[in-house]
């Protein structure tokens, strides 16, 4: 039986197979491709998980809405970090990681023929979820000359009038760009004018450097009427494999998302829910220390790239460096050359869309010693190639 092919293969799933083959042949691969934090959560978070898992009544199905304690904890975090007030009973929907919610939102809200505005380059799930729902895409380029912010004024009126969803993501994956409150005012006004749901992926808002403070779109007055925001403990609290996220904001959209979830999952594991509460309302001082570690790694990458002659922006946030290539080399060629010859794995910009051509994304998710070694391997192989 021939099954319908509705989704493209995930790049990182395919890459895992190639890396496994190289490792089986004895290669020592340094992975700087995927954004999975290598550092653990704080001890008090793990202790909360262990306590919950030791309780004999913790192992059954849970509510799709999560516990009231979890919703209140997300609300407390939004109040503390963003000065945004949320109603735990209608403004907050816990998720099995934000990726699940991003994908399922398209199934909840889109019909075949609807239009979705997606950034290019951008996180793959925005487009893939829309395509799975049968919707059409209108891509908005994120260009260096615009500081990787979309120029909403270039969207044709006909497209804006058709659009049901606009996806934004700041701090941005993959470009590392940040957005100001002034930009979010513009985005909220645009979506209100055309009756578009503004969906903001805020996964990296607590991974920042120096004095950078990444805002929430819900800080804009009236945004909660036309916007929802996705957040996650994956990046903010080193809990990627725990799959604990949230969607907050526009109540009708959250209700539609909940309806999909009742058909797609059976709630979260209660001990992870309890540990998520500990992460959200417990000691937060360790996040600054964690970010300082990422900053040291960032500086190693930035310095090495500068010495190799690459010109790029220094990231103020996120887990990545977004590096433009030289000499007309395509991103796929560059990445494949380094994987096979330097045994260093990077992500080609084309994974994130056509406007990612000519860039590679370098993740900061290895110990500084391994990152230093990776950059030295890259330097040696590029010198030989030249």
Integer Cα distance of 111 and 105 in angstroms: 12
Report pLDDT for 384. Answer: 55
The class that CATH gives domain 43-281 is: alpha beta
> Residue 385 pLDDT more than 60?
no
> Residue 101 pLDDT more than 90?
yes
What is the rounded average pLDDT of the residues 143-161? Answer: 97
> Residue 317 pLDDT more than 80?
yes
Q: How confident is the model at residue 17 (pLDDT cuts 50, 70, 90)?
A: confident
Q: How confident is the model at residue 243 (pLDDT cuts 50, 70, 90)?
A: very high
Q: 295: exposed, middle or buried (C-beta count within 10 Å: 0-12, 13-18, 19+)?
A: middle
Q: Model confidence over 246-264: pLDDT tens digits?
A: 999 999 999 999 999 999 9
Q: Model confidence over 29-82: pLDDT tens digits?
A: 999 999 999 999 999 999 999 999 998 888 988 989 999 999 999 999 999 999
Report pLDDT for 57. Answer: 87
8 Å CB contact between 275 and 49: yes
Fold for the domain defined by 11-37+285-385: 3.90.1150
Rounded to the nearest 5°, which phi and psi values hold at 358?
Answer: 90, 5
Q: Model confidence over 255-312: pLDDT tens digits?
A: 999 999 999 999 999 999 999 999 999 999 999 999 999 999 999 999 999 999 987 7
Select from 206, 207, 232, 200 the least CA-distant residue to 95.
232
Q: 272: exposed, middle or buried (C-beta count within 10 Å: 0-12, 13-18, 19+)?
A: buried
8 Å CB contact between 198 and 188: yes
Mean pLDDT of the chain: 94
> Residue 324 pLDDT more than 90?
yes
Integer Cα distance of 107 and 85 in angstroms: 28
Q: Model confidence over 370-380: pLDDT tens digits?
A: 999 999 999 99
Q: How confident is the model at residue 20 (pLDDT cuts 50, 70, 90)?
A: confident
In this structure, what is the dihedral angle of CA atoms 182, 184, 188, 189, given to the nearest 10 degrees?
A: 20
> Residue 21 pLDDT more than 90?
no
- Which residues make Cβ contacts (< 8 Å) with residue 377, sequence separation at least 6? 30, 338, 342, 343, 344
Q: Kindly list the domain boundaries of the chain, sorted by start residue.
A: 11-37+285-385, 43-281
The DSSP-derived string for 95-106 is ESSHHHHHHHHH
What is the rounded average pLDDT of the residues 199-228? Answer: 97
Q: How confident is the model at residue 3 (pLDDT cuts 50, 70, 90)?
A: very low
Report pLDDT for 2. Answer: 46
> Residue 8 pLDDT more than 70?
no
> Residue 348 pLDDT more than 70?
yes
Beta bridge partners of 115: 136, 163
Q: Model confidence over 179-210: pLDDT tens digits?
A: 999 999 999 999 999 999 999 999 999 999 99
Report pLDDT for 154. Answer: 96
Reported pTM? 0.94
Burial string for 32-68 (b: 16+ CB within 10 Å, else e) reads bbbbebeeebbeebeebbeebeeeeebeeebebbbbe
% of the chain beyond a pLDDT of 90: 86
Integer Cα distance of 91 and 65 in angstroms: 11
Which H helix or E strand runs over 93?
Answer: strand 92-95
């Amino acid at each position: 039986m021939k099954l319908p092919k509705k989704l493209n293969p995930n790049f990182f799933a395919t890459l895992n197979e190639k890396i496994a083959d190289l490792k089986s042949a004895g290669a020592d691969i340094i992975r700087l491709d995927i954004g999975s934090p290598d550092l653990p959560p704080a001890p008090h978070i793990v202790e909360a998980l262990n306590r919950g898992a030791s309780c004999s009544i913790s192992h059954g199905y849970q509510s799709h809405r999560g516990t009231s304690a979890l919703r209140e904890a997300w609300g407390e975090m939004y109040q503390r970090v963003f000065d945004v007030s949320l109603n735990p009973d209608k403004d907050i929907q816990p998720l099995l990681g934000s990726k699940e919610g991003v994908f399922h939102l398209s199934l909840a809200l889109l019909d075949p023929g609807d239009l979705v505005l997606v950034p290019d380059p951008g996180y793959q799930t925005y487009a893939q979820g829309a395509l799975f729902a049968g919707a059409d895409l209108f891509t908005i380029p994120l260009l260096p000359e615009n500081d990787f912010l979309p120029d909403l004024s270039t969207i044709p009126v006909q497209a804006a009038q058709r659009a049901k969803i606009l996806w934004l993501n700041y701090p941005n994956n993959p470009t590392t760009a940040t957005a100001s409150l002034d930009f979010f005012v513009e985005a909220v006004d645009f979506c209100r004018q055309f009756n578009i749901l503004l969906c903001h992926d805020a996964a990296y808002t607590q991974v920042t450097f120096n004095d950078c403070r990444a805002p929430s779109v819900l800080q804009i007055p009236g945004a909660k009427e036309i916007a929802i925001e996705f957040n996650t403990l994956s990046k903010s609290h080193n809990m990627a494999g725990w799959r604990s996220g949230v969607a907050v904001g526009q109540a009708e959209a959250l209700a539609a998302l909940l309806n999909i979830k009742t058909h797609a999952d059976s709630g979260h594991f209660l001990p992870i829910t309890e540990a998520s509460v500990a992460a959200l309302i417990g000691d937060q001082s360790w996040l600054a220390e964690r970010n300082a570690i990422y900053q040291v790694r960032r500086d190693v990458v930035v310095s090495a790239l500068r010495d190799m002659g690459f010109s790029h922006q220094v990231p103020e946030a996120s887990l990545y460096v977004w590096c433009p290539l030289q000499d007309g080399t395509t991103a796929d060629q560059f990445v494949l050359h380094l994987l096979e010859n330097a045994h260093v794995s990077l992500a080609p910009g084309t994974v994130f869309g056509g406007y990612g051509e000519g860039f590679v994304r370098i993740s900061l998710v290895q110990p500084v010693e391994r990152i230093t070694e990776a950059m030295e391997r890259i330097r040696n192989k590029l010198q030989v190639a030249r």
